[in-house]
Amino acid sequence: MKQPTLIDKAFLLKRTPLFGMLDFDLLLVVSDKLGTMEVESGETIFANNDPATRMYFIVKGAVEISDGHQKPLALLRSPEFFGDEALLSDKSRGYTAVSKTSSLLLSLSKTNLFTIISECPQVAIGLLQTYSSYNKFRPRKEIAE
């Protein structure tokens, strides 16, 4: 599979809700920190309860997300991202990610993600927008009877 160039990586980021607000110069900075991963069909990218150090962006292919009991939750394609939740919650992985086709992924380390957020608050806003777009109502603790 052809490895993405710095520009390809930057353009992929531009298409994600997370980094869509960033200018070209900042996109290059972030792209430089992205690792590239090729995964075969059926290969596990990470499993439920694994320690979390990186988040992933799909360049090519499809990734299936399933819960701890192998129940499929979603099928993700480019330019979607995954693996971010555990980085932010500082917990181990809460789901399993398996490549459904041979896929090309970009990955960003937790340290770098946090540095980028501290420098570019737009990225944090992008994350919040992504989360809130999936939640009509944020679950809260039940009211005590």
Instruction: Catalog residues that contact other proteins under the rule CB under 8 A.
Output: 3, 5-8, 10-11, 14-15, 20, 23-30, 32-33, 35-39, 51, 53-54, 107, 109-112, 115-116, 118-119, 121
Rg, C-alpha atoms of the chain: 16
Q: How far is the CB of 135 from other proteins (least distance, A)?
A: 25
Q: Between 38 and 62, name the residue whose CB sits nearer to other proteins.
A: 38
Q: Between 8 and 66, name the residue whose CB sits nearer to other proteins.
A: 8
Q: How far is the CB of 7 from other proteins (least distance, A)?
A: 4
Closest CA to 37 of 14, 54, 22: 54
Strands, DSSP E only, in 78-143?
81-82, 96-99, 103-109
Q: How far is the CB of 26 from other proteins (least distance, A)?
A: 7
